Chain A
């Protein structure tokens, strides 16, 4: 699998790492059931602190994209691919809304108000 970080990105690093993994899943770089490289390997290859990587992975587990299994390491969850695609679009929507001056509450209201 190919992971990439944008070095000019100003978001917190753990979000960037989570975003890179999410994108990799959405683009089919890794299939459900595949084992992710260890946090240590990810941290070394991406030149990011290992705790930052772990924080990103825990976040993705909470989103339901990853599964932590004892003895098998971190694997991609079943059905993670469409899920990650949706997550990416939601994040893009929130970012775009913030750029235009809308808060998350405004966005929620807009979605609620949709027919």
Chain B
């Protein structure tokens, strides 16, 4: 596991440095054959350029964009403690690098051996090819890394042995746990307030409705989804696992004991699953309200897990395993 982590991190760092070198170095290496300034922008549908940049800017600007993107992604990857469960880092770094490096190559090629930037023609074919390559690489990276992390997660589950709770016969046992995230609640309240304010302004004729309907819709959706995932309740009983969201306990997800292959507790953080709320990542689906203990189940016939961040997950998982074993 340790070796994989080092390998993943090294690959990411080498890729970042390499793409930076290509982005900044390519125009400079062939500067004898390029006009200064370079054509850097073409209007849609027109073959004639409508924007230019000095040579130094054309070589530094994409490199800077790349360094910021890659820096943020790498920061998360390098700070993570041990397991490199970051499929989205690969799915971000690979296509972004391909798009930027490809665009830079197309740009240099379009400007190559032109006396003046106005003569450069739009490299449409190249742009299409680059976008296709980036999408293929992104999807490929996602599948490869998610498959690998799902396998390691499954291996981890078998290694930990997933204990079953021991309780006397003739007892009906139920486990309840609840987590709330006050910050999400605050965000829900603030965005809800903005949505209401915008609605009042539009309905009252105080403001021009134009783009404000979009603002209202955006804030309302943000408010509802934050409210929905501001708290989560999990319960384990003879009927299996039931996870319900929000203050109303709706929506609900249910698994009968027979629909669950294994249950365990695991420590997860928002950085591993891509943020707070209802997250789909290489680790499967995670309902992440806070960093720490999560109840993780592997639904029958699935390759990925479902996890929910609740306290006392270990006993919940143990009870679920006991129920599953037909107690």
Contact = CB atoms under 8 A, between A and B. Distances in A.
B79 interface: no
Nearest to B249: A38
B177 interface: yes
A100 interface: no
Given A7-B170, A41-B249, A2 B175 contact: yes
Nearest to A71: B247
Contact of B176 (A8, A40, A41, A47): A41
Interface string A23-45: 00000000000010110111011
B81 interface: no
Contacts of A1: 175-177, 312
Interface of A: 1-8, 35, 37-38, 40-42, 44-47
Interface of B: 167, 170-178, 233, 235-239, 242, 244, 249, 312, 315, 319
Pick from A5, A41, A42 the residue with the most CB of B within 10 Å.
A41
Contacts of A37: 176, 178, 233, 235
B253 to A, nearest CB: 14
Contacts of B238: 47
Interface of B is mostly: strand
A2 B172 contact: no
A44 B175 CA distance: 12
A58 to B, nearest CB: 19
A3 B233 contact: no
Given A35-B178, A38-B249, A2 B173 contact: yes
B235 A41 contact: yes
Given A2-B174, A8-B170, A44-B242, 12 more contacts: A1-B175, A1-B312, A3-B175, A37-B235, A41-B244, A45-B174, A45-B176, A45-B235, A45-B237, A45-B242, A46-B172, A47-B238
A2 B173 CA distance: 7
7 contacts: A4-B172, A4-B173, A6-B171, A7-B172, A38-B249, A45-B242, A47-B237
A7 B244 CA distance: 27
Contacts of A2: 173-175, 315, 319
Contacts of A41: 176, 233, 235, 242, 244, 249
Nearest to A37: B176
A51 to B, nearest CB: 18
